[in-house]
Structure 1
């Protein structure tokens, strides 16, 4: 004979997370998601700026093999133009400015990666907390259900209480599922950005830079439908 009081007396550690608690955790989670999205937008600006400065720094020399360009140069061959051509079509002060800008962009992108990593880790902690709590509560309720199945003499109102206790757990499970999905997507997105930043250098081909900017903008690991669902949970 199972002790009815023992079945319903669940310890605080095994108590299901209330809907309000789950919602509060989810709100904190989505707040950090917003912070991450803001970082991504800022990182995109730094990456585009890096590409612009690098392309300007290594722009090609004037194509003297072109008849039209050659005629223009000959007709305007001033001391300034001559010095410019002799310097390899680079102005020293512009080259110094380009290098400084490139270094600044690299530093800002590295800072972006560091901040994004912290947010991803915080998102993981929040998702794991809700998941572990709901998992423990689910197992506790399943064990209680088995006890009820073994005892046909328990009052009907006890079964009603059991059914009522599942409702907040269902909400917590829904929040947990969405949090896990969103975190996994953002983690892949972060890994992609980290690889891009580590690959940047003065020798990075223009085609690769274009591809990096495109991938950063497209964010192929992010499912818009999942993100829309997540935002609906707090609307």
Structure 2
């Protein structure tokens, strides 16, 4: 395999764009996993709440009249069993274990994808460093890639908006081309950070699941999982616009 140093600038840029596309494919996969995980967590919640369903209030006069009017063996057996049908109880236990296993598998699969995303980010960083080294050999300008500052990203957005409002010249076109790949790298860094935090939240939620946890706590976990508080949809949607 040809080393990065032996590739031309155009080849390096194409490689970066290809790695960016692979990165976004990984983001799509992890998004789908998150949706499936949310359904599993809801299933866990339903199964747990079924076991906590209170029995019929036989002290109610209305309920008492209904029972007396329909005092069959089936109704008596239902009340004596705690108002739970046998097949429903069996199904609830099955769903409980199925959702628990599914959530553990979800965390494992999400971690695999996260590792792949980290690898792609590392490859892009390496490609840009090599590319910048080649550019420095051709110019006295320093095209340093700053990946870790949100302020840099915001500054780029402002400059990009300004460049669109002005008539382009040769210099601005070159600068924009240079910025394109560095911008992709910054976007990848931001998205990876967000997705990793979301994964860590999901991992903690799954680890905290317990039969003794309160209904309120479990409902909060379900809401936070669906909300994905660490994900900035605007940045993610903007990243998809770079996919050709």
TM-score (norm 1): 0.79
1:143 is displaced (CA, Å) by 7.2
Partner of 1:211: 220
User: Post-superposition, which runs of at least 4 consecutive aligned residues in structure 1 deviate over 6 A?
Assistant: 163-167
- Could you tell me whether the CA contact under 8 Å between 1:22 and 1:130 is conserved in 2? yes
Moved more, 163-172 or 71-80: 163-172
Structure 2 CA distance for aligned equivalents of residues 145 and 112 of structure 1 = 48
Pair 1:172-2:165 in alignment: no
Structure 2 CA distance for aligned equivalents of residues 104 and 15 of structure 1 = 52
Partner of 1:115: 109
Residues 81-119 of structure 1, C-alpha deviations (whole Å, 9 max, x = no match): 222222222233321221111101111111111101100
RMSD value over aligned CA atoms?
A: 2.7
Partner of 2:16: 22
Q: Which has the higher contact order (CA 8 A, sep 6+)?
A: 1
Partner of 2:203: 194
1:201 is displaced (CA, Å) by 2.4
Residues 29-70 of structure 1, C-alpha deviations (whole Å, 9 max, x = no match): 111111111111111111112212222232111112322222
- Could you tell me whether the CA contact under 8 Å between 1:116 and 1:190 is conserved in 2? yes
Q: How many residues align?
A: 211
Partner of 1:47: 41
**Pairing of 1:132-171 with structure 2 (within 5 A):** 132-138=126-132, 141-142=135-136, 145=139, 169-171=178-180
Structure 2 CA distance for aligned equivalents of residues 61 and 126 of structure 1 = 55
Partner of 1:36: 30
Which blocks of at least 5 consecutive residues in structure 2 are unaligned? 142-171
Structure 1 CA distance for aligned equivalents of residues 6 and 75 of structure 2 = 78
**Bigger CA radius of gyration:** 1
1:15 is displaced (CA, Å) by 6.8
Partner of 2:123: 129
Moved more, 125-134 or 115-124: 125-134
Distance 1:141 1:71, change over 3 A: same
Residues 153-197 of structure 1, C-alpha deviations (whole Å, 9 max, x = no match): xxxxxxxxxx99977543321111111111111111111111111
Partner of 2:95: 101
Partner of 2:193: 184
- Could you tell me whether the CA contact under 8 Å between 2:30 and 2:110 is conserved in 1? yes
Residues 106-135 of structure 1, C-alpha deviations (whole Å, 9 max, x = no match): 111111111011001110111122123323
Moved more, 195-204 or 121-130: 195-204
Residues 208-232 of structure 1, C-alpha deviations (whole Å, 9 max, x = no match): 2221221111111110110111101
Which blocks of at least 5 consecutive residues in structure 1 are unaligned? 1-10, 148-162
